[in-house]
Amino acid sequence: MPCLEACRDSGAEVVAVYTQPDRPAGRGRKLTPSPVKQAALAAGIPVEQPESLKSAEVQQALAAWRPDLLVVVAYGLILPRKVLAIPRLGCWNVHASLLPRWRGAAPIQRAILAGDAESGVDLMRMEAGLDTGPVMLQRRTPISRDDTGGSLHDRLSQLGADALAEGLRRTLAGEILPATPQPEAGVTYAHKLDKAEAKLDFSRPAIALEQQVRAFDPWPVAEGEIAGETLRVWAAQAIAQDHQAPPGEVLGAGRLGIDLACGTGALRITAVQRAGGKRIGAVDYLNARPELRRLP
């Protein structure tokens, strides 16, 4: 966990880690601790896992740690006003967007879905509103055509850790970080992802579908129908191709992938997953369905 490591490496004392309760995961649905819990326990840091921070008992337990600062990273629970008031130096949030664009739960995926040219991380001082607080430090990064939700997440995670480490070092040195209020213009909300959004609609432009495939890797994974079979689509790219074919029709299928007609252009699918199977390349899929092979 880069941000936990940044806290420890900065010289700050991490007195406790709060994370959500263990959740079922995997095919066996076994209760599984979060990665930050595992890292904290390995480092000998106490871990707390309340279902909510709303009760007076939980808030009193948090206050008993006498924290100077709370650092929040993708916690997933709302911090009530009484919790925000507990630490002497307030609460910091490492948020994976360039605020005020993409406030909310899924900023990384929404940025890719929207075709944004860049993303970044803001170190923000928290207040009662949803990601509305002033920004203290910012790191930026371009979004490439190769980026997926997973790759961008990993890059932003490290950028966030770098910004957090700098903020902590400067604060420990006695500096009060300047905080810039967010502009009122440009506010957008990154609503939580829904699995229903994963279905590919081939009547849409091919570039929009490419962005959908990239954004939903590794979750919830895009899903589309190829010649009557519903598949998970792991990798695809938009290609410029004029055609009069109905949406979803196979225009070509070979060593480069499977080209499907879209509302504008075509989507070349290069990696898929059949029901109950594993991720495979489009060429391997075509070996199982040789009737689809045709030159573009």
List the binding residues for (6S)-5,6,7,8-tetrahydrofolate. Answer: 97-100
Q: Where is the binding site, in residues? A: 97-100
Task: Please provide the DSSP assignment of 90-150 as one string.
Answer: -EEEEESS-TTTTEES-HHHHHHHTT-SEEEEEEEE--SSTT-SPEEEEEEEEPPTT--HH
**What is the SS3 assignment for 64?**
helix
- 48 near 18, Cβ under 8 Å? yes
Residue 226: its H or E element: strand 222-226
As a whole number of angstroms, the distance between CA 104 and CA 189 comes to: 6
The amino acid sitting at 31 is: L
Token reading at 172:
């420990």
Residues 6+ apart with CB under 8 A from 47: 16, 17, 18, 19, 37, 40, 41
Token reading at 20:
């959500």
- 267 near 231, Cβ under 8 Å? no
Residues 6+ apart with CB under 8 A from 19: 34, 36, 37, 40, 47, 48, 49, 75
